[in-house]
Amino acid sequence: MEPVPPTGPVELASLPNEILLSIADYLDEPCIGSLASANSHLNTVFTPYLYARNVKRSGASALWWAIKRGERATAQKSLDAGADLDAQPPLKYRDPFSAGHFAAYLATRWLGPSLTRRGIDKGEEQKRADLLLFLIDNGMSVDAKCGNDASTVVQHAARVGNDELVFRLIDKGANINVISSLKQTLLHDAAKLCKAELISLLINRGLDIHARDGGGFTPLHQAALGKNEATVRTLIERGADINCTSNDGASPLLLAAAVRHSGPVIELLVRNGADVNHRAHNQATPLHIATDKGYLEVVLALVEHGANVDVAQHDGNTPLHFMLRLPHSEANLELIKLLIKKGADVNSQNNRGASPLHTAAATMYLDAVRLLVEHGAAVNKQDALGFTALHFAGTGTEIRRDLATILLENGADMRLKNNSGFQALNASLWQSRDDNEWIEKALAKFGGNDQEANAEN
């Protein structure tokens, strides 16, 4: 019997689903996508087919696209079509620097600071966090490793400061006892990012508040560096050792002194028993650190709380030496005055024999030179190489007459020689005529002429 041809055009949507899917086997994906968008019935038939085909023929690229962009609905459809979260993605979505579980890596890659740098708002970050939790609900391990350093999802969430996500991951059973490649715990991460609420939760769950990382640093060290009062206070109230030391002997207070605008945290630590004169293995105190950094607010806070202003570190430098190396300003000068008022020795010498006056002269800090001389600095003190402060007035191609005048008027001896036999000031061929004439006049006024000086030396 001959088949009966249709009497008119056949509507595709009226065909049985089996026939529609058989037709789709001979079409490419763009064509199928066009058919799926024709009406709701075709969309219902072809959409699952497209996802299943994508899984079989394209390595479930739709799933990896969805994870990368935080599209939960697309990820759901791909998983419903049989996509495997534990599989390797197509080359297009692989990252040569990734390690561990790739779905976890891709899902966490866009959380936290990376989003901020790309201008993505908080709502977008929340969407990606929700997708991560969705993947865990659909079979991905809550402890999946997602970083090159074998960090887990909860570690990554803690490091980027998403404490809400950390809470939710813990509720889903994430292992909170994980240790990073630097031997840091989740408490270190929470303290580093100043997350007081998370710190309390982790301590309540049993994490060790005294845990030390590879460098011997505790969560309190990390909190002190973060200069967040609430975080430091939480750790202190929960029993942190306020004078704990790292492998190099640094206390939390010493680390706080290395951070600008940390005065309130320093006061909090000192009020709770921190040793303001604690010395690290290199003999540096918090005041050494603050003066070396030039953090004036921190210097003031330490001095007001009794810091020893005259202690020397391993190289013999005192806080006064460090202050004299800083950029010249009225504020710096006031702190130099404060150190002297509190008892700093203006004639202390470091391991190279340099006194504060040597340092001030070398940096041409004229106001400080005057101040030191007024407070009894020995103008003729020589360092290990035989240099006096006056030598620094004549070491360049031009004589620093302003420096030389201050020192000469206060008793500096022009005739003193350094270990190489050079006088502090002496007329020479490489100086200008004006400079040589000025030196001759200075010699006549303060130290006789060249012949007399050489005869006495």
> Angle at Cα 198 formed by Cα 194 and Cα 202, nearest 5°?
125
Task: Give the pLDDT score at 440.
Answer: 80
Instruction: Please answer whether residues 390 and 400 qualify as being in contact, where contact means their C-beta atoms are separated by less than 8 angstroms.
Output: no
Q: Please tell me the distance from the alpha carbon of residue 267 to that of residue 257, in angstroms, as a whole number.
A: 11
**Percentage of the chain with pLDDT > 70?**
90
pLDDT, tens only, 293-313: 989 899 999 999 999 999 999
441 confidence band (pLDDT: 50, 70, 90): confident
Q: Say which residue, 99 or 273, is predicted with more confidence.
A: 273
Q: Which residues pair with 145 in a beta bridge?
A: 152
Task: Give the pLDDT score at 422.
Answer: 87
Task: Give the pLDDT score at 256.
Answer: 96
435-441: list long-range contacts, CB under 8 Å, 24+ apart. 435/398, 435/399, 438/399, 438/401, 439/399
Residues 6+ apart with CB under 8 A from 132: 104, 107, 108, 111, 153, 165
Q: Please tell me the distance from the alpha carbon of residue 294 to that of residue 288, in angstroms, as a whole number.
A: 10
Q: Selecting from 1.25.40.20, 1.10.443.10, 3.90.1150.10, 1.10.3720.10, what CATH number does the domain 379-457 have?
A: 1.25.40.20
Q: Please tell me the distance from the alpha carbon of residue 146 to that of residue 59, in angstroms, as a whole number.
A: 20
Q: Say which residue, 367 or 434, is predicted with more confidence.
A: 367
Question: Mapping DSSP to helix (H, G, I), strand (E, B) and coil, where does residue 272 land?
Answer: coil
A 10 A CB-CB count for 400 gives 19
A 10 A CB-CB count for 175 gives 13
Q: Say which residue, 430 or 422, is predicted with more confidence.
A: 422
pLDDT, tens only, 207-239: 999 999 999 999 999 999 998 999 999 999 999
- pLDDT over 50 at 457, yes or no: no
- pLDDT over 80 at 292, yes or no: yes
pTM metric for this prediction:
0.80
Question: In 276-375, at which residue ranges do the beta strands (DSSP E only) sit?
Answer: none
Task: Give the pLDDT score at 146.
Answer: 85
Lowest mean pLDDT segment, chosen from 57-61, 257-261, 370-374, 449-453: 449-453
Lowest mean pLDDT segment, chosen from 37-46, 91-100, 169-178, 260-269: 91-100
Task: Give the pLDDT score at 455.
Answer: 36
- Average of pLDDT values for 184-197? 94
Task: Give the pLDDT score at 172.
Answer: 95
Report domain extents, the chain.
Answer: 379-457
Distance of CA 98 to the CA centre of its chain: 23
pLDDT, tens only, 86-104: 888 877 777 765 667 888 8
A 10 A CB-CB count for 47 gives 16
- In the chain, count of helices (H) and strands (E)? 25, 0
Question: In 296-441, at which residue ranges do the beta strands (DSSP E only) sit?
Answer: none
**What's the mean per-residue pLDDT of the chain?**
87
Q: Please tell me the distance from the alpha carbon of residue 278 to that of residue 281, in angstroms, as a whole number.
A: 10
456 confidence band (pLDDT: 50, 70, 90): very low
Q: Whose CA is closest to 431, among 394, 403, 401, 406? A: 394
- pLDDT over 70 at 271, yes or no: yes
Using CA atoms, how far residue 126 sits from 122, 133, 141, 322, in Å, is 6, 11, 20, 48
Q: Say which residue, 51 or 336, is predicted with more confidence.
A: 336
pLDDT, tens only, 54-79: 888 888 889 999 998 889 999 999 99
Task: Give the pLDDT score at 428.
Answer: 65
Q: How many residues belong to the chain?
A: 457
Task: Give the pLDDT score at 385.
Answer: 96
- pLDDT over 70 at 454, yes or no: no
- pLDDT over 70 at 117, yes or no: no
Question: Mapping DSSP to helix (H, G, I), strand (E, B) and coil, where does residue 365 land?
Answer: coil
Instruction: Please answer whether residues 342 and 303 qualify as being in contact, where contact means their C-beta atoms are separated by less than 8 angstroms.
Output: yes
